[in-house]
Amino acid sequence: MAKSLWLERVGTGSFVGHSSEGPSVKIGHAPDEFTPGDLLKLALAGCNATSSDARFAAVLGDDYKSTIGVSGDWDAETDRFTHMDIEIVTDLTNLSDEELATLERRVRAAIERRCTISHTLNQGMTDSLVITSEG
């Protein structure tokens, strides 16, 4: 069965996103909530991270540590992000220049091949809305 995702309204402008597999996330504009834009940026960063994880682990070991940063340029006039930057930070000091270049090439190739979020954002997509009455 496919994973189901849904939101429940919990207050003015506040929602909780749920998955049929169990996790949830607060969504809105309060300090303890992720905005939809935050979630989009995190989705892109997460996709880059999970797509490249095996490449880093193969070179650095399964217990390697990393932090993935993401930022985005937002255009107020068109109300959209125009660009996002992702930075994967990890300890690469033990690699030679050649090993570093090979790892970077393999990481980029893995992301280009496997990151669905990046593919979607770069190629565009459509969406649709249905409003349903329930009593």
Report yes or no: 34 and 25 within 8 Å, Cβ to Cβ: yes
Q: Is the pLDDT of residue 1 over 80?
A: no
Q: Note down the domain range covering 86.
A: 35-123
In a domain, 128, yes or no: no
> What's the pLDDT score for residue 5?
97
| Residue 69: inside a domain | yes
Residue range 26-70, pLDDT digits in tens? 999 999 999 999 999 999 999 999 999 999 999 999 999 999 999
pLDDT digits (tens, 9 = 90+) for 77-100: 999 999 999 999 999 999 999 999
- DSSP code of residue 34: B
Whether residue 40 lies inside any domain: the answer is yes
Query: CB neighbours of 17 closer than 8 A, spacing ≥ 6?
Result: 5, 6, 7, 24, 25, 26, 27
Short-list 44, 87, 42, 92, CA closest to 64? 92
Q: How many domains does the chain have?
A: 2
* Global pTM value: 0.92
Question: Is the domain of 28 the same as that of 82?
Answer: no
**Same domain assignment for residues 111 and 48:** yes
In a domain, 19, yes or no: yes
